[in-house]
Structure 1
Amino acid sequence: MSKPIEVLSPAGGWPALEAAVRAGAQAVYLGGPQFGARAGAQNFSREELSEAVRYCHQRGVRVHVTVNTLIKDSELPEALDLVKFLCSISVDAVLVQDMGLLHLIRERAPGLTVHASTQMSLHTPAGVRLLKALGVKRAVLARELSLSEIKEISEGCDIELEGFVHGALCMCVSGQCYLSALLGGRSGNRGQCAQPCRLPFGAPGGTGHDLSLKDLSYINSIGELQKAGVCSAKIEGRMKRPEYVAAATAACRLAADGRPVPEELSSALGAVFSRSGFTDGYINARRGREMFGTRTKEDVTAATEKVLSGLRELYRKERQSVPVDLALSFEGGQITLGASCAGHTVFAAGKLQQNDPIYNSIPKERCISQLQKTGGTPFTARSVTVPEEGVPLPVSELNRLRREALEALLEARGRRKPIPFTDAPLPSPGPFKRPKGPLPIRAVLRDPGQFCPEMRECEA
């Protein structure tokens, strides 16, 4: 049986991070103080990043950090310092666009997992194979691919593939839009896209907003994406509110688990953010006018307080999804509760009260019932082992043992060994020397008919 597809959610700030984790994300992606493709998001300081990684690891959620802008030579020392910090807090992966930074990361932190950002415009088997050869573990595919194109890439290269299943579409191929940089000096490849494609642009017979695409939504096609080779279902939206993150995450979680998404949740997801609905045009290779849409007044007002308050219920409480095994034992006047989970085992201890007549032994069934009360924590009791005869201590003491053991286990799960990082001086690029004579001209043509007569004469 294939491994279940991962649900990967956006976290533009702490409220969205908590919403993602509690709504069922198995991994989150977020940005640090610099070099992320969403500079306008709230993002995380270094201290917040450290706390976010600890919080997620305690709950079994992976953390991917974006370092996915193009980086100037003068910025490389600062970018590497950020990567070094990310190694120190043991993030699960970094997303990278800049090829120079990718080379330096593989050289200095070979143990750090690198994902190729969608900003790399990954839409061919050859491109993905190149990145695999350069040490990349996962490729985040361009949003503009069809199912058959995704399958072709999957069959052409043994590498993890991550695909977007919900969120905004760019008018251009992922990572190739220069419109914002051209019109306002704010480059999308520097994390500063001003989204000019959402402004009025006209074309004959068009809508008046002829560069503005609807958001994509492939939630109901997650199973097909997995069959095509996608291992991670990614939700776009680091600029979105936590209610959106919770709604999209919960819907994807249901779909990834093979369960139907309730109509009420689908409607709430559309209400909290859409651009006149959603499109699946790319994945189904049905490109056309129906893919275009704008953010209307009706779209904005659909996010009523009733809708938002309902979505907040998705992340109001801890998601109890981390299985724990509890074992209660006593010997020599001492009682011990052990808690085990995923290679971690901790203990909480106390004194038996068997010589004090005011305490009656708690029966086995009552002990199990009390220890199963893990509410308020991310744990759920998978198994509980207690002595057949019960234990002679007050219920309050048993509750204390459970509370201390789970707190210690949570703390243990949040600790990870740092990833080794080797400091070294950056090589000097030296002065740029312009080659003498005319520069060579290269062109890629897919059809011989594209050759003009002059080019045919040169070939001859």
Structure 2
Amino acid sequence: MERKPAEPLEILAPAGGEEQLTAAVRSGADAVYLGLIAFSARRNAANFDADALRRAVSYCHARDVRVHVALNTLVLDAELDAFADAVRAVAAAGADAAIVQDVGAAALVRRICPSLPLHASTQMAVHNAAGAAALERMGFSRVVLARELTVEEIAAVAAATPLEVEVFIHGALCMSMSGCCTLSCMLGGRSGNRGLCAQPCRLDFRRGARGYALSLKDLCGLAHLDALRAAGVRSLKIEGRMKRPEYVAAAVAACMAARAGEVPDLFALRAVFSRSGFTDGYLTGRRTLDMFGVRTQEDAAAAAPVLGSIRRLYRAERPRVGVDLRLDGAAVPPRLLAGDGVHIVSAAAPDAPAAPGAPQELLARARRSMEKLGGTPFFLRTLEFAGDAPPLGASSLNAMRREALDALLALRGRVAPLIVTDGGPLPLAPHAGPDAPALRLRFARAEQICAADRAELLILPVRQVTPALIAQYGPKLAAELPRALYPGDEERLFERLRALCGAGLAAVQAENLYGLTLAGRLGLRAHGGFGLNAANAEALAAYAALGAADMTLSFELPQRAALRMGGALPRGVIAYGRLPLMYFRACPLQGGDGCGGCRGAGELTDRRGTSFPVRCEARRYSVLYNSVPLYLGGERLDGLDFATLYFTLETPDVCAAVAGAFLHGRPLDGPRTRGPFRGGLL
């Protein structure tokens, strides 16, 4: 594996709008990330249209700051042409990278602008080397790792991939694994995967007497900066595109200080925004109740006294670009050359009366004027004189310096568009699916298995699969891989799968990118699960290229989007199930002694008294399930290749009853939901 030479840690700051952009750059950020009006995971930020993006890139590039553009939402088929236009706008602005979640969107970026670097959003939920390997195959150059990893786990992934590694260093923490949360969508129709998370997790979900059981404190990982550098991290990302400019400035300043080996101003950082303090629980692996917190009135009141002093951090330009000046007094008229090592500009002395003086006096006057770089992004690297200092007054010298530096800044900020092809969305034919979908059954436990003779596929968690079950059900049985796989478990899972292959296992259900990689290495048929967030025909084609035999579509998709999706890859939907709304590594069920005495099962109650079951998965992560099951019995599903009944907490009798009802198109008794299937997706 070829690795790039180590580079200095990049400080990557959020820019939700132009004020935040200025604050980030003037506070010392090496790079900023921002979103367009559309296809940004923070659609409620101010964001940037095409013209504002060009101005932003020009401003940043003139000051040696890189610009990463977030195109990190799931994209629907009907939006692919608009997404292609957005990619062209990013290329026209000369941006430095695109941050992408949707694999179909990534394929479009590569097709339209092959030279635009692709960064894999944390929404892709990459926790391990096998996931990074899938990204490498798709042409990504950087992975933003999942926030749940420890420093040691980050190091393990970084050591196993040639991709640049980016991690979050400060800011809000999602309770769920990123990209795996559908709570906002299922409860209110506003999808976080579409940039409109309503943050219901910050409401009062209770675990017994303990409130706000889904609200984590903000991350502050500055104490681990040296360890992250040693782990192979390239970029430190600050969360916060919805935050005020003062927050951005304080966070960048703190990161700058920590990187320089100085003590960061944690008082100002906490005052400007925190939720009962900070946590580094994911980085250390101490995922205790101390990670949880809410924003109190005291937290909010603490901000006002520090805002003024923080604003001073970005009131003026930061000198960050070295400039070489050469004053030629022998030229007629005298000329000033200004260069940055790449560009050179010149300015002639204005037509003004001479200001004679002794040679030493003229030299001192010229030096004083040339050294006045305050209010510009330049610092003086070298100053040379060709011949004697010219007999110019201070005003003439200052005017010449300003003209040269303005010209150099404009030249540095000149937009350099990236080359685009005439490519666009694939001209895919409508999908020719069957009149009625085949039945697939997913069970959480082997004892639930029913209606096996009516199903084309039986899906069972890999830890439940045994040689006896493989012998009984043959190629009809698929082993479901965990939604998250941490580096310490990667080799163990691979060896278990290899052993099951020896017993005749033929297929897996992959709920994460890593599963496609492992399936390919073992020669297993890979069925793509809803965890892969397939939302468009481009994504289906991309997953097929990675080895997927078929795909369960995201259950956030409305009916019309699912039924009209083009392309050849067989696809299906979840037609029944208590859908997983969140996946946790910081478990809300834990007591004061962590997992001690926990049965791995419990529930959370929202402010209306509705109960949501939580189940622990082999002490690796836990899952929050919806309070009521989805049921699409009787819905129009023609054109889909399969429909999956997704059983989790049900008894064997209930599983059999649901399967029978669905096969005969009968309604179910009791509360149920159709999720976003009938409606639109925001």
Q: Same fold (TM over 0.5)?
A: yes
Aligned to 1:363: 362
Tell me, yes or no, if the aligned pair for 2:369 and 2:398 is still in contact at 8 Å: yes
How far did residue 365 of structure 1 move?
A: 3.0
Tell me, yes or no, if the aligned pair for 1:364 and 1:387 is still in contact at 8 Å: no
| SS of equivalent to 1:376 | coil
Matched, 1:277 2:274: no
Structure 1 unaligned regions, length at least 5: none
Matched, 1:173 2:177: yes
Q: Which moved more, 1:358-367 or 1:49-58?
A: 358-367
Out of 209, 214, 218, the residue aligned to residue 215 of structure 1 is 218
Query: In the superposition, relative to structure 1, how do residues 308 and 425 fare at CA in structure 2: closer, same or farther (>3 Å)?
Result: closer
| SS of equivalent to 1:363 | helix
Which residue identity lines up with residue 134 of structure 2 in the other structure? Answer: L
Out of 218, 232, 240, the residue aligned to residue 243 of structure 2 is 240
Structure-1 separation of matches of 2:341 and 2:78? 43
Matched, 1:377 2:376: yes
Per the normalisation by structure 1, the TM-score is 0.94
Tell me, yes or no, if the aligned pair for 1:4 and 1:256 is still in contact at 8 Å: no
Structure-1 separation of matches of 2:41 and 2:317? 30
Which residue identity lines up with residue 368 of structure 2 in the other structure? Answer: S
Tell me, yes or no, if the aligned pair for 1:367 and 1:386 is still in contact at 8 Å: no
Structure-2 separation of matches of 1:301 and 1:450? 55
CA deviations 1:14-48 (Å, max 9, x no partner) are 11111111111010000111000001111112211
CA deviations 1:197-237 (Å, max 9, x no partner) are 000111135x2111111111101211111111110000000
Tell me, yes or no, if the aligned pair for 2:96 and 2:117 is still in contact at 8 Å: yes
Out of 89, 102, 108, the residue aligned to residue 106 of structure 2 is 102
How far did residue 280 of structure 1 move?
A: 0.5
How far did residue 332 of structure 1 move?
A: 4.8
- Structure showing greater radius of gyration is 2
Instruction: Name the % identity.
Output: 47
How far did residue 351 of structure 1 move?
A: 6.3
Query: In the superposition, relative to structure 1, how do residues 164 and 131 fare at CA in structure 2: closer, same or farther (>3 Å)?
Result: same
Q: Which moved more, 1:384-393 or 1:397-406?
A: 384-393
Q: Which moved more, 1:119-128 or 1:251-260?
A: 251-260
CA deviations 1:427-460 (Å, max 9, x no partner) are 333222335754443647454x664975663358
Query: In the superposition, relative to structure 1, how do residues 359 and 169 fare at CA in structure 2: closer, same or farther (>3 Å)?
Result: same
Out of 193, 198, 218, the residue aligned to residue 194 of structure 1 is 198
| SS of equivalent to 1:233 | strand
Which residue identity lines up with residue 325 of structure 1 in the other structure? Answer: D
Tell me, yes or no, if the aligned pair for 1:114 and 1:137 is still in contact at 8 Å: yes
Tell me, yes or no, if the aligned pair for 1:352 and 1:392 is still in contact at 8 Å: no
Aligned to 2:507: none
CA deviations 1:256-290 (Å, max 9, x no partner) are 222221xxx21111011111111111011111111
Structure-1 separation of matches of 2:382 and 2:457? 69
Tell me, yes or no, if the aligned pair for 2:281 and 2:287 is still in contact at 8 Å: yes
Q: How many residues align?
A: 452
| SS of equivalent to 1:25 | coil
CA deviations 1:304-343 (Å, max 9, x no partner) are 2x21111111111110111101001133532110111140
Aligned to 2:154: 150
Which residue identity lines up with residue 109 of structure 2 in the other structure? Answer: I
Which residue identity lines up with residue 15 of structure 1 in the other structure? Answer: E
Structure-2 separation of matches of 1:121 and 1:429? 28
Query: In the superposition, relative to structure 1, how do residues 423 and 269 fare at CA in structure 2: closer, same or farther (>3 Å)?
Result: same
Structure-1 separation of matches of 2:350 and 2:247? 49
Instruction: Note the 1:415-430 alignment, pairs <5 A.
Output: 415-424=414-423, 426-430=425-429
How far did residue 246 of structure 1 move?
A: 0.4
Structure-2 separation of matches of 1:320 and 1:418? 26
Aligned to 1:13: 17
| SS of equivalent to 2:281 | coil
Out of 141, 160, 183, the residue aligned to residue 187 of structure 2 is 183
Which residue identity lines up with residue 148 of structure 2 in the other structure? Answer: E
RMSD (Å), alpha carbons = 2.0
Matched, 1:66 2:66: no
| SS of equivalent to 1:386 | strand
Query: In the superposition, relative to structure 1, how do residues 347 and 289 fare at CA in structure 2: closer, same or farther (>3 Å)?
Result: same
Aligned to 2:473: 458
Aligned to 1:162: 166
Tell me, yes or no, if the aligned pair for 1:118 and 1:174 is still in contact at 8 Å: yes
Aligned to 2:50: 46
